Amino acid sequence: MPPAYVKAYVSATRMTSADAEAICEAVTRPSVRFVPVKDADQQSVLMMHRARNLQVRQCTMLVNALRAHLAEFGIAPQGLRHVEQLIAAIEAENTALPELARSILRLIVTQLNDTQAKIQQVEAKLARWRRSTGLSKLLASIPGVGIMGASAIAATVCDPNLFRSGRDFAAWLGMTPRQNSSGAKERLASETTPLIRKSCIQRERSPFGFTRSPL
């Protein structure tokens, strides 16, 4: 049960007995929803997604560092699609790069290639898990839902029957902002479940040429 549903029933200073009383009161309410428990397999898949997101962020940081260092020597193509040009400029003999700077930049390139290889390893494991799971295979057959989105939804959503309609599921995914309004004041909070939302949005962009370029 989410702690936010219990907080409204805490009637005294926070202590163990007051929290227990509030939990007992919140459980009896028919409108309170409960969080299903994920199994070990689902937790492992979500851990792979988080590890992949960490490595993607590290890859972006390395590309930005490589571009910033080369910009000091007048070489500054921007974007992941120009990484090969940056690497070629480091290895080119006619580039005005000191040998000391060239050696340091090669270390960054090596780390970048290792990070990209690890991302591909995690993606291969997610693809194998998607093929071995019936629900994930069914989700991947939906237009606009790829391997990342199907595996993330299958690992995150334990019981689809908790959602009354597709609109409730879309709101839970974060396609609409959360409402924190009170009275005449409208307050919209940030979206929930960013992992699934980002996977679906990136998949929708891919037919229009916004796919991530390989390094």
Q: Which residue has the higher pLDDT, 80 or 65?
A: 65
pLDDT computed for residue 203 by the predictor: 57
Mean pLDDT of 208-213: 44
Mean pLDDT of 19-44: 82
Cα 54 from chain centroid? Answer: 9
Instruction: Show the CA angle centred on residue 13, arms to residues 9 and 18, nearest 5°.
Output: 50
Mean pLDDT of 31-55: 85
Long-range pairs of 124-131 with CB within 8 A, sequence gap ≥ 24: 125/48, 126/45, 126/48, 126/49, 126/52, 126/151, 129/45, 129/48, 130/154
Locate 191 and state its tokens: 């979206």
Residue 213 banded pLDDT, cuts 50, 70, 90: very low
Q: At what angle do helices 40-71 and 194-205 cross, to 10 degrees?
A: 60
Q: Model pTM?
A: 0.70
In whole angstroms, what is the distance from residue 105 CA to residue 86 CA? Answer: 10
**How many CB atoms are located within 10 Å of the residue 160 CB?**
9
Locate 79 and state its tokens: 């974007």
Q: Partners of 189 in the beta sheet?
A: 178
In whole angstroms, what is the distance from residue 171 CA to residue 195 CA? Answer: 14
Domain boundary assignment for the chain:
1-35, 36-208
Average pLDDT, the chain: 79
Give me the numbers of helices (H) and strands (E) for the chain, helices first please: 9, 2
Could you read off the pLDDT of 139-193 as tens digits, one per residue?
888 777 778 888 888 888 877 777 788 777 777 776 666 666 676 777 666 555 5
Could you read off the pLDDT of 81-117 as tens digits, one per residue?
678 888 888 888 777 788 888 899 999 999 999 999 9
pLDDT at 212 over 60: no
In whole angstroms, what is the distance from residue 115 CA to residue 11 CA? Answer: 51
